[in-house]
Chains A and B, each alone.
Chain A
Amino acid sequence: MTAPLLEVAGLAKTFPAGRRRVIQAVDGVDLTVHAGETLGLVGESGCGKSTTGRMLVRLLDPSAGRITFAGQDITHLGQRRMRPLRRELQMIFQDPFSSLNPRHTVGEIIGTPLRILRPEVDERAAVRQMLDRVGLAAEHIDRYPHQFSGGQAQRIGIARALITEPRLVVADEPVSALDVSIQAQIINLLAELRRDLGLSYVFIAHDLAVVRQVCTRIAVMYLGRVVEVADREQLYTAPAHPYTQALLSAVPVPDPLVERTRTRIVLSGDPPNPADPPSGCAFRPRCPKAADLCRVERPELVRTSRGVVACHFPEPAIPSGYEGP
């Protein structure tokens, strides 16, 4: 097997929270992204998925751990040595409007990374071509962000990320601010661009139905840690971690016939506060299977016969041929 495009080991991030207290937002995350794949990073608010994404592209400095991109350790690269790599590592943000400068034209917004990172290229021609590529008219080049709808603005954000011909794009909730009729347009566009340009994505999202549509492999996060990693098929048909199971069972299916007959695991309580994490397994206070062991010993993410999972009592493997819930 070829070396992974991106490898992350023991990644951690703490934020100061006043009075010498810290919040452990990300706490020892290991991840691998292979060329051409879309890795989903899912979890509820505060689980550290966005913080992880920002560290992957070095928008945030990790407190601990190592990030290896295309064989090179980039964890501590300074701004100047990071610059050539910025071309290869790009990001798409959730809110297209707040991530586009309202005073810059579309041409300036998309052209700026090109001017800085690939000065040899004919900027205007490349921008026009990229606009066409993401489904906008080349004539839009001199317009301003407010003249676009939410979906179109997200297309501009995508164009800006792709203009430098990156190899890896971290997309942080790229469709969650969009209406459903527009969401599908952007999901399809991202898939098409991945196929045509040979991109890899880290796709950060809270919507498990969207993630299933977009990602080939998925890592589930809970309170700063990865609790399960699996291929799409396995994760959605035979989740091993009780949290993954509860998460999947909580997502409503847009079909009343299905909804009225489904059995659901309704968790009690809310996700824990990262400033005051529970002992042992972070999911323990809400876990229907929690036992004494879970209180004292934090389960590590290990490969078991039930998949890669951080749980003392993972779900039994489901016989092959099972069609899912």
Chain B
Amino acid sequence: MSLLEVRDLRVTFTTGRGALRAVDGLSFTLDRGRTLSIVGESGSGKSVSSLAIMGLHRDAAVEGSIEVDGVQVVGAPADQVRRMRGRRMAMVFQDPLSSLHPAYAVGEQIAEAYRLHFGAGRRAARLRAAEVLGEVGIPDPKRRLAEYPHQFSGGMRQRVMIAMALACEPELLIADEPTTALDVTVQAQILELIARVQQDHGLAVLMITHDLGVVARAADEVLIMYAGAAVEHGPALTVFAEPRHPYTRGLLNCLPRLDGDAEAALIPIPGNPPSLLSPPDGCRFHPRCAERQERLPCAVSRPLLPQPGPAHRAACHLLEETR
């Protein structure tokens, strides 16, 4: 059994202009020791999905099934989810400054969850906080326990977030754009750190990102989302080498890269992502798709990712035709 099993996840928000289904039928599994990257542009549903796994949606209707180590999150009582959060699954957010409380010393913030989950005393929790701070590479951790978030640099604050996530020995680490707010030289450090703690603890890592470079560096598997649903899923190596969905191909073509041909113009994807309040009929990507075919039902029927299916699969009528 996989550590994380997500089946047919749907997340719906009620807005003044009607129901908005931000995630519409997402399924995947993730094993211990593996890194899955969920990639997508703004509004693709990648962060909404990760918050649903953590049981953090209050005002949205979450349907489907999310099992973490066999325990159902969807519809579970709040205190049960709270016991899982931090202990079995922990999350690192994009902006460490807004995720840390400015008025509490970092040591207290790290120790708090440890005391709650393990019933540890102040002293033991403090020791544990110093231990994890040291583990994430903060020099002189005992002294820095008493410092406040503003006394740390951006990269160090993200290390504190990772320390906080590790404090209760979770099995699943969700990292939502963990390096997006950081400079590129610091990003490299944080990605190395996440890879190291993953290896040391055998964590399952779910990495949410918009940056295909980060995916290439960090992920074993990749799941590409567009307008609330998965369009392609597979091992990172094959998805990059032989992208099957026209959207994935489009993303890779429009990306400037250090080893690309700087003289050649980029090939942009025309148009804009659709509004999820009124998504297009058929394939949600078809209005922008360079490869859509009149003979295929691109505009009328929505292609789904085959479930179960081969390790590398995509939701596209072009592929159904050749299958």
Interface residues, chain A, with chain B CB atoms under 8 Å away: 44-45, 149, 151-152, 179-185, 187-188, 191, 206-210, 212-213, 232, 236, 246-248, 250-259, 264, 266-271, 286, 324
Q: Is B304 an interface residue (CB 8 A)?
A: no
In whole angstroms, what is the CA distance A277 to B149 when docked? 21
User: Chain B CB within 10 Å — which of A181, A207, A208, A250 has the most?
Assistant: A181
In whole angstroms, what is the CA distance A36 to B251 when docked? 30
Q: Which residue of A lies closest to B189 (CB)?
A: A266
Q: Is B42 an interface residue (CB 8 A)?
A: yes
In whole angstroms, what is the CA distance A139 to B260 when docked? 38
- Of A180, A255, A264, A269, which contacts B240 at CB under 8 A? A255
In whole angstroms, what is the CA distance A254 to B260 when docked? 10
In whole angstroms, what is the CA distance A42 to B220 when docked? 31
Q: Is B18 an interface residue (CB 8 A)?
A: no
Q: Is B272 an interface residue (CB 8 A)?
A: yes
Q: Which residue of A lies closest to B153 (CB)?
A: A270
Pairwise interchain contact A270-B254, C-beta atoms closer than 8 A: no
Q: Mark B8-19, 1 if CB is under 8 A from A, else 0.
A: 000000000000
Segment from B46-54, B60-68, B197-205, B207-215 that makes contact with A: B207-215
Pairwise interchain contact B240-A254, C-beta atoms closer than 8 A: yes
Pairwise interchain contact A253-B257, C-beta atoms closer than 8 A: yes
Segment from B26-34, B125-133, B178-186 that makes contact with A: B178-186
Assuming A255-B216, A264-B188, is B251 touching A212 (CB within 8 A)? no
Pairwise interchain contact A213-B241, C-beta atoms closer than 8 A: no
Q: Which residue of B lies closest to A210 (CB)?
A: B256
Q: Mark B257-273, 1 if CB is under 8 A from A, else 0.
A: 11110100111111011
In whole angstroms, what is the CA distance A149 to B155 when docked? 32
Pairwise interchain contact A180-B272, C-beta atoms closer than 8 A: no
User: What residues of chain B lie closer than 8 Å to A266, measured between beta carbons?
Assistant: 185, 188-189, 192
Q: Is B237 an interface residue (CB 8 A)?
A: yes
Pairwise interchain contact B185-A247, C-beta atoms closer than 8 A: yes
User: Chain B CB within 10 Å — which of A151, A208, A253, A256 has the most?
Assistant: A256
What is the minimal beta-carbon distance from B265 to any residue of chain A, in angstroms? 6
Known contacts A44-B185, A180-B212, A213-B262; 13 additional CB pairs below 8 A are A179-B41, A180-B41, A184-B267, A247-B184, A251-B184, A252-B214, A254-B215, A255-B216, A255-B259, A256-B215, A259-B217, A266-B192, A270-B153
Pairwise interchain contact B268-A184, C-beta atoms closer than 8 A: yes
Q: Is the interface of A mostly helix, strand, loop or mixed?
A: helix
Pairwise interchain contact A208-B184, C-beta atoms closer than 8 A: yes
- Of A188, A191, A254, which contacts B255 at CB under 8 A? A254
Pairwise interchain contact B184-A257, C-beta atoms closer than 8 A: no
Pairwise interchain contact A187-B266, C-beta atoms closer than 8 A: yes
User: What residues of chain A lie closer than 8 Å to B267, measured between beta carbons?
Assistant: 184
Q: Which residue of B lies closest to A266 (CB)?
A: B188
Pairwise interchain contact B272-A151, C-beta atoms closer than 8 A: yes
Q: List 26 A-B contacts (CB under 8 A).
A: A179-B42, A180-B41, A180-B254, A181-B250, A181-B273, A182-B268, A183-B254, A184-B267, A207-B256, A213-B260, A213-B266, A250-B187, A251-B213, A252-B214, A254-B215, A254-B240, A254-B257, A255-B259, A257-B240, A258-B216, A266-B185, A266-B188, A266-B192, A267-B185, A270-B154, A324-B259
Q: Is B252 an interface residue (CB 8 A)?
A: yes
Pairwise interchain contact B258-A212, C-beta atoms closer than 8 A: yes
Pairwise interchain contact A191-B185, C-beta atoms closer than 8 A: no
Q: Is the interface of B mostly helix, strand, loop or mixed?
A: helix
What is the minimal beta-carbon distance from B285 to any residue of chain A, in angstroms? 11
- Chain B interface size, under 10 / 10 to 19 / 20 to 34 / 35 or more: 35 or more
In whole angstroms, what is the CA distance A179 to B155 when docked? 24
Pairwise interchain contact B216-A252, C-beta atoms closer than 8 A: yes
Assuming A149-B272, A252-B213, is B254 touching A181 (CB within 8 A)? yes
What is the minimal beta-carbon distance from B242 to any residue of chain A, in angstroms? 12
In whole angstroms, what is the CA distance A257 to B255 when docked? 17
Q: Is B236 an interface residue (CB 8 A)?
A: yes
In whole angstroms, what is the CA distance A39 to B236 when docked? 35
Pairwise interchain contact A248-B257, C-beta atoms closer than 8 A: no
User: What residues of chain A lie closer than 8 Å to B23, measured between beta carbons?
Assistant: none
In whole angstroms, what is the CA distance A209 to B213 when docked? 10
In whole angstroms, what is the CA distance A269 to B186 when docked? 8
Q: Which residue of A lies closest to B266 (CB)?
A: A184
Pairwise interchain contact A250-B262, C-beta atoms closer than 8 A: no
User: What residues of chain A lie closer than 8 Å to B210, measured between beta carbons?
Assistant: 179-180
User: What residues of chain A lie closer than 8 Å to B156, measured between beta carbons?
Assistant: 270
Pairwise interchain contact B41-A181, C-beta atoms closer than 8 A: yes
Q: Which residue of A lies closest to B154 (CB)?
A: A270
User: What residues of chain B lie closer than 8 Å to A269, measured between beta carbons?
Assistant: 155
Assuming A250-B187, A270-B155, is B259 touching A258 (CB within 8 A)? yes
In whole angstroms, what is the CA distance A126 to B270 when docked? 26
Pairwise interchain contact A254-B262, C-beta atoms closer than 8 A: no
Pairwise interchain contact A253-B183, C-beta atoms closer than 8 A: no
Pairwise interchain contact B255-A184, C-beta atoms closer than 8 A: yes
What is the minimal beta-carbon distance from B99 to any residue of chain A, in angstroms? 18
Q: Mark B226-259, 1 if CB is under 8 A from A, else 0.
A: 0000000000110011000000001110111111
User: What residues of chain A lie closer than 8 Å to B212, measured between beta carbons?
Assistant: 180, 254
In whole angstroms, what is the CA distance A159 to B214 when docked? 33
User: What residues of chain B lie closer than 8 Å to A213, measured between beta carbons?
Assistant: 256, 260, 262, 266
Assuming A180-B41, A268-B189, is B266 touching A254 (CB within 8 A)? no
In whole angstroms, what is the CA distance A181 to B189 when docked? 27
User: What residues of chain A lie closer than 8 Å to B256, measured between beta carbons?
Assistant: 184, 187, 207, 209-210, 212-213
User: What residues of chain A lie closer than 8 Å to B250, measured between beta carbons?
Assistant: 181
User: What residues of chain B lie closer than 8 Å to A182, measured between beta carbons?
Assistant: 268, 272
Pairwise interchain contact A208-B254, C-beta atoms closer than 8 A: no
What is the minimal beta-carbon distance from A23 to any residue of chain B, in angstroms? 16
In whole angstroms, what is the CA distance A266 to B179 when docked? 15
What is the minimal beta-carbon distance from A56 to any residue of chain B, in angstroms? 23
